[in-house]
Structure 1
Amino acid sequence: MIDHVHDLASVHDATERLLLAVGTLDNAAVTKASRLPGWTRGHVLAHLARNADALVNVLEGRPMYVSGAAREADIERDAARPLDVQLADLRETAARVQRVGAAPADWSRTVELRGGVTDRAARVPFRRWAEVELHHVDLDVGYELEDLPAEFTEREIGFLAARFDGHRDVPTTRLTTAGGRTWTTGGGAAGDPVEVGGPAAALLGWLAGRRDGSGLTVTSGTLPSLPPL
């Protein structure tokens, strides 16, 4: 069951962790490369702020972004800002998410995200939680997939497994964590079922495109090549 109140609190905690970590940087460090190809840390921070605005738009019934081109232009515009401006923007936009999340609303309603994707409003806070946690790792400031809250890691594995479920390029794949949690994904591509196991962080890294799967064990078949998210 989705609990948007719990997830909003988790978003707040994750944002505070990120702000604390980013606050130890300096202006020069913000211009350094992140772990995302072609993006500096400043790009990641700008994206996080603009994503917060975009999700407020979604919850208030407006288009998430004016256009894909406008989204990219806004990130490029804001990427080179000094650290104090980045931090202020992140704080202000994060507070806006919390205010909108606290307002009375029908959380069972359907909302529209990018590219015509729809979801329940109640899942939007979890989507924001994923943005904050994964991009904190992408900043390359000492926060790793292994540091993510266990609850988040397992839920995001489930979310991504569902996203690839039935994908025409992914064979049926059974995922098993070292703790024994299992999910099944894929199923749209021909071939024998694939059995993949390993630490939860390694499974999440592979599903989220942050790791190549070398930390996983394939006991049946070949590790599938996942399409981009």
Structure 2
Amino acid sequence: MTSDPLRLTGEVDDATARLLRTTANLDKTSLATASLLPGWTRGHILAHLARNADGFVNLLTAARTGDPIPMYASPAARSADIEAGAVRPPTAHRDDLRRSAERFAEAVAAMPAEAWGATVTTRRGPWSAANLVWGRLREVEVHHVDLAVDYRPADWPEAFGHRLLREVATGLAGRSDAPPMVLRCDGRQHELVVGDRTAAPTVSGAAVHLAAWLIGRSPGTRLTVTPDGPLPTPPEWI
């Protein structure tokens, strides 16, 4: 899904500010508490978000200069950086998050218009540079929820929920392990169809709740199914 990167920069700034407000209340004990991601503490989440920002800086630099700069030096280096950063004191986490976010913003501002059309190589394969700002926004918003503090999918901006829902549904439409379903947002006539709709159930709700359920951040208790029955089981998200 391609979104105008310059239109999303303000949303990234706002999402980052919300994340930093949350981290202001986390002490050493809170950071060592388990997050919603198996095997990761809240400290792991924050270390990942900081290194993710730097990884996107690498990709933006690659798009701007044409040099084949990888997002991370290697999968092992990425994991090692997250493990090492997870146990830092709260002030170090907050400073790292803030400074890495500033580096990301500077890298975005340095992009000439033509560079957004470049193709870069992410951990999961080729991606248009025009998607990088959206990618960062998605990381911040989803992992903010993963901290399991006081930020939930219901707190996501509506526009973010709709973008995420469309991206995830589009990805599911091409997967053989995705159950057929029709996704309908409250108050909207437009539907997103996954698989053969002939006998597919219709799952309805707000975009943020549909998206959160599809990516495994919600059990879907605020969704309705027509005809009445259990929710389909979406495959594992990225």
Is TM-score (shorter-chain normalized) higher than 0.5? yes
Q: Could you state the TM-score of these two structures normalised by the residue count of structure 1? A: 0.91
Match of 2:65 in 1: none
Residues 3 and 122, structure 1, Cα contact 8 Å, conserved in 2: yes
Matched, 1:86 2:75: no
Partner of 1:186: 194
Pick from 145, 154, 166 the counterpart of residue 146 of structure 1: 154
Partner-residue secondary structure (3-state), 1:197: strand
Amino acid at match of 1:112: T
Deviation per CA, 1:79-109: give whole Å up to 9, x if none: 0100000011101110011001001332122
Q: Which residue of 2 aligns with 1:97?
A: 104
> Partner of 1:124 in structure 2?
132
Instruction: Decide whether the 8 Å contact of 2:185 with 2:191 is kept in 1.
Output: no
Deviations 1:183-221 (A, max 9, x none): 42432x898323111122220111111112233212147
Q: AA paired with 1:108?
A: G
Aligned to 1:160: 168
Show the counterpart of 1:112: 121
2-structure distance, mates of 1:209, 1:111: 27
> What are structure 1's unaligned runs of at least 5 residues?
none
Provide structure 2 residue ranges, at least 5 long, that are not aligned to the other structure: 63-68
Paired position in structure 1 for 2:39:
38
CA distance change for structure 1 residues 199 and 104 in 2, over 3 Å: closer, same or farther? Answer: closer
Cα RMSD after superposing both structures:
2.0
Q: Distance in 2 between matches of 1:181 and 1:120?
A: 30
**TM superposition outliers: structure 1 runs of 4+ over 6 Å:** none
Summarize the Cα distance change of 1:215–1:28 in structure 2 as closer, same or farther, 3 Å threshold: same
Equivalent residue letter for 2:122:
L
TM-score by length of 2: 0.88
Distance in 2, Cα, partners of 1:25 & 1:78: 15
Q: How many residues align?
A: 227
